[in-house]
Amino acid sequence: MGKVKGFMEYQRALPADREPLERIRDWQEFHKEMPAADLQQQGARCMDCGTPYCHTGFMLSGMTSGCPIHNLIPEWNDYVYKGFWHEAYDRLMKTNNFPEFTGRVCPAPCEGSCVLGIIEPPVTIKNIEYSIIEHAFSQGWVVPKTIAYRTGKRVAVIGSGPSGLACADQLNKAGHSVTVFERDERLGGLMMFGIPNMKLDKKLVVERRIDLMRQEGVIFMESTEVGIDYPADKLLEEFDAVVLCTGATKPRDLFAEGREFPGIHFAMDFLRSSTQALLTERAPVLSAEGKNVVVIGGGDTGTDCVATSLRQGCRSVIQLEILPKPPSERQFDNPWPEWPKTFKVDYGQEEAAIVQGDDPRKYSMMTKKFLADEKGALMAVEVSKVEWVKADGRYSPLPVAGTEQIIPAELVLLAMGFIGPDEHLLQQLQVVQDERSNIKSTDKNKYLTSRERIFAAGDARRGQSLVVWAIHEGRSAARECDRFLMGETSLP
């Protein structure tokens, strides 16, 4: 695959981003496109490696290694190198319903397990994926497909996030009549309200794909919460099968002294407010303008809060991480093809460093309590350094005496992940949950719930994870649902 010795001739390269001081003045996507000739060189770096771990997609040491949807990466890299863009697009769409999403927001576990990455920087897989699908849209190749045959079966998909959309897309292609229920006023779930516009444009990218699905026959019912606006007991009366793709939307809280003070919010509420304001051209309900902001928690959501705060005109932003700063290179206990636990600077940290003069992250920091002024308004966060100590086989953070400090803050954003799905609908449907509160699968079928004809997929079933895992889950649940309805399935 690619050019013989191409990986020896060409260095890894990424497209230039818009300058930080320019891009923080708007909400447009910050990546620039790479010229086709440069992309061909990057495709040429893909080795004829024999066993391409990039598309294996399995969990290794608790982390994702390779692509969970098993993208045929070496094949479309080769086509891009040769200039066969339509063939590359055809290969890409065999495994991924929404490469325009993953090409923007996936952390690219495929690159972490790239064989070339053992000795050199890995192939720029994510950017090539993004470029293939955007080239296909620009050439008019992405058009609604006619569904030649309808089975007469009706399926309800609850939730329009990446797993719900992938599931609905696959079931629609199989000929079933699919209705997607979404409780929010806009479709897309996490991709609409959980990811800021500068990473994933809502109108130009998310709604573009949903409009295609509408034209192909998928019915969308937004502003319709099953269990409240639509009775849960009607689902199995009106549909032949149901797939629960509600996500893991319960945020992890921080139980520290002063948590009740106004000005402390979950990250997702802040990001939702920002996107709603952008789409409706109104002022956000929650704003960082003129405030000292403290983001508690690392990861993509924390980064998005940093970048959003800067665009809203915050006075300062600091990001607290309880874990130590990662090393610059792989360590002995983190070998290939595991996901490399190395230090990275994402777009939000890059922007904050330019604006404030330093990376906003403070590592090995524990939040001890929140402080308010005499009027009860949040004014600061008290933190301390922690040391990770191993006891009974597990590491735990212990505060280091004498390291306490006060950080000014009028806005605190909790970005510490999620602990499971909302239980209201699950209880109404009498669906059994596991010890982590996720939807429990049957022993014989990991996508079938304890209720006959009700399936589950995505974060609601497996717990908080990546968008690419959600797509994998949606496709897999659609296959099992189709098999249940028809006795067999041709879905991949």
pLDDT tens digits for range 20-78: 999 999 999 999 999 999 999 999 999 889 899 999 999 999 999 999 999 999 999 99
Q: pLDDT tens digits for 435-444?
A: 999 999 988 8
Q: pLDDT tens digits for 348-395?
A: 999 999 999 999 999 999 999 999 999 999 999 999 999 999 888 899
Over residues 266-290, mean pLDDT = 97
What is the extent of the structural domain holding 48?
Answer: 6-138
| Whether 14 and 55 share a structural domain | yes
pLDDT range class, residue 3, cuts 50, 70, 90: confident
Instruction: Give yes or no for residue 2 having a pLDDT over 80.
Output: no
pLDDT range class, residue 328, cuts 50, 70, 90: very high
Whether 159 maps to a domain, the answer reads yes
Q: What is the pLDDT of residue 193?
A: 96
Q: What is the pLDDT of residue 391?
A: 86
End of a domain among 378, 400, 416?
A: 416
Kindly report the average pLDDT of the chain as a whole number. Answer: 96
| Whether 279 and 322 share a structural domain | yes
| Whether 181 and 298 share a structural domain | no
Whether 430 maps to a domain, the answer reads yes
End of a domain among 138, 164, 183?
A: 138
Whether 144 maps to a domain, the answer reads no
Over residues 115-133, mean pLDDT = 96
Q: What is the pLDDT of residue 140?
A: 98
Whether 97 maps to a domain, the answer reads yes
How many domains is the chain built from?
3
Q: What is the pLDDT of residue 445?
A: 85
Instruction: Give yes or no for residue 447 having a pLDDT over 90.
Output: yes
Over residues 8-20, mean pLDDT = 95
Over residues 211-221, mean pLDDT = 98
Distance between CA 381 and CA 63 in Å, rounded? 32
Instruction: Average the pLDDT over each of 1-10, 77-86, 145-154, 206-215 and give the range with the smallest value.
Output: 1-10
| Whether 365 and 271 share a structural domain | yes
Q: What is the pLDDT of residue 1?
A: 63
| Whether 411 and 265 share a structural domain | yes
Whether 27 maps to a domain, the answer reads yes
| Whether 390 and 312 share a structural domain | yes
| Whether 388 and 364 share a structural domain | yes
Q: What is the pLDDT of residue 360?
A: 98
| Whether 362 and 454 share a structural domain | no
**CATH classification of the domain holding 320:** 3.50.50.60
| Whether 405 and 428 share a structural domain | no
Over residues 304-317, mean pLDDT = 98
Over residues 458-485, mean pLDDT = 97
Whether 492 maps to a domain, the answer reads no
Whether 220 maps to a domain, the answer reads yes
Q: What is the pLDDT of residue 48?
A: 85
Q: pLDDT tens digits for 418-440?
A: 999 999 999 999 999 999 999 99
